[in-house]
Amino acid sequence: MAKQILWDALPETEFEFEELLFAARDEERDIEQVRIRGIVVSGLDMSGLGFYQVSFENCRFLGCCLEKTAFRAVRFQNCDLSNSDVSWSYWSDCLWEEVKAVGIKAQKASFLRTKMKHSNLRYGNLGESKLEKWQAERCDFTESFLTACQCKELVLQENRFVRTSFFQTPLRGIDFTSCELEEVFVSEDGAELAGAIVDVYQAAEFAKLLGLKVVG
């Protein structure tokens, strides 16, 4: 994170959430320095809006459109983003904690210095996203798509990658040794795996993907 933010000290908004969005869109400004708690919205269009130093706590955004939305220094804590669309969104210095994001659509999103902790991204699609100084800790990416991503300085800790697709995503220098890595999808020649850091059991799993038989 670029700097420490006192999330719990942020003032709570005096407006209903949808009124806050309407005012921000009408005035062409970002939503800034507020704490938003306990809202439940479904199918809401939030596309193109900007959020700066905002804390979302115990909120549910179900099937919402957040395309081309910008999040800077934003926290999602104990929130549900399942089946929402954050494609082409921008995330900088953000934090996800205990987020349920099953089936989230995040194609061509940019995640810069963003951390995800204890979050569920099963069946999510992060295809063609840019992941730079991105951290994921104890997250579930089972049957998710991390295809054709640009990765730089990733930190992965105890994540679950089961039947996850890394097709056309170079994994050089990425340390998977603390993660569960099983039945992942890559191209036939396994070019994505070159330079990935794995343990001996994960190496054997990758060998099977390439049609090799490990003996001894």
> Does the pLDDT of residue 212 top 70, yes or no?
no
Residue 79 binned pLDDT confidence (cut-offs 50, 70, 90): very high
> Does the pLDDT of residue 210 top 90, yes or no?
no
Question: Between these two residues, 208 and 200, which has the higher pLDDT value?
Answer: 200
- Average model confidence (pLDDT) for the chain? 92
pLDDT, residue 72, reads: 97
Determine, yes or no, domain membership for 88.
yes
Determine, yes or no, domain membership for 194.
yes
Determine, yes or no, domain membership for 1.
no
Mind listing the pLDDT tens digit for each residue in 99-132? 999 999 999 999 999 999 999 999 999 999 999 9
Determine, yes or no, domain membership for 3.
no
> Does the pLDDT of residue 144 top 70, yes or no?
yes
Q: What is the CATH number of the domain that holds 148?
A: 2.160.20.80
Determine, yes or no, domain membership for 216.
no
Determine, yes or no, domain membership for 90.
yes
DSSP 135-150: EEES-B-TT-B-TT-E
Task: For residue 22, report the phi and psi dihedrals to the nearest 5 degrees.
Answer: -60, -45
Total count of domains within the chain:
1
Average pLDDT over residues 8-36: 91
pLDDT, residue 2, reads: 46
The answer to whether residues 190 and 212 touch, using CB atoms and an 8 Å cutoff, is no
Among residues of the chain, what percentage have pLDDT more than 70? 95
Determine, yes or no, domain membership for 101.
yes
Name the one residue in this structure whose structure tokens are 């904690």.
Answer: 97
Determine, yes or no, domain membership for 201.
yes
Which of 27-31, 52-56, 90-94, 197-201 is the least confident region? Answer: 197-201
pLDDT, residue 189, reads: 87
Radius of gyration of the chain (CA): 18
Average pLDDT over residues 4-33: 89
Mind listing the pLDDT tens digit for each residue in 52-70? 999 999 999 999 999 999 9
DSSP structural state of residue 29: -
Which residue segment(s) compose the domain that 39 sits in?
10-209
Interatomic CA distance for residues 27 and 201, integer angstroms: 56
Interatomic CA distance for residues 99 and 114, integer angstroms: 14
Among residues of the chain, what percentage have pLDDT more than 90? 81
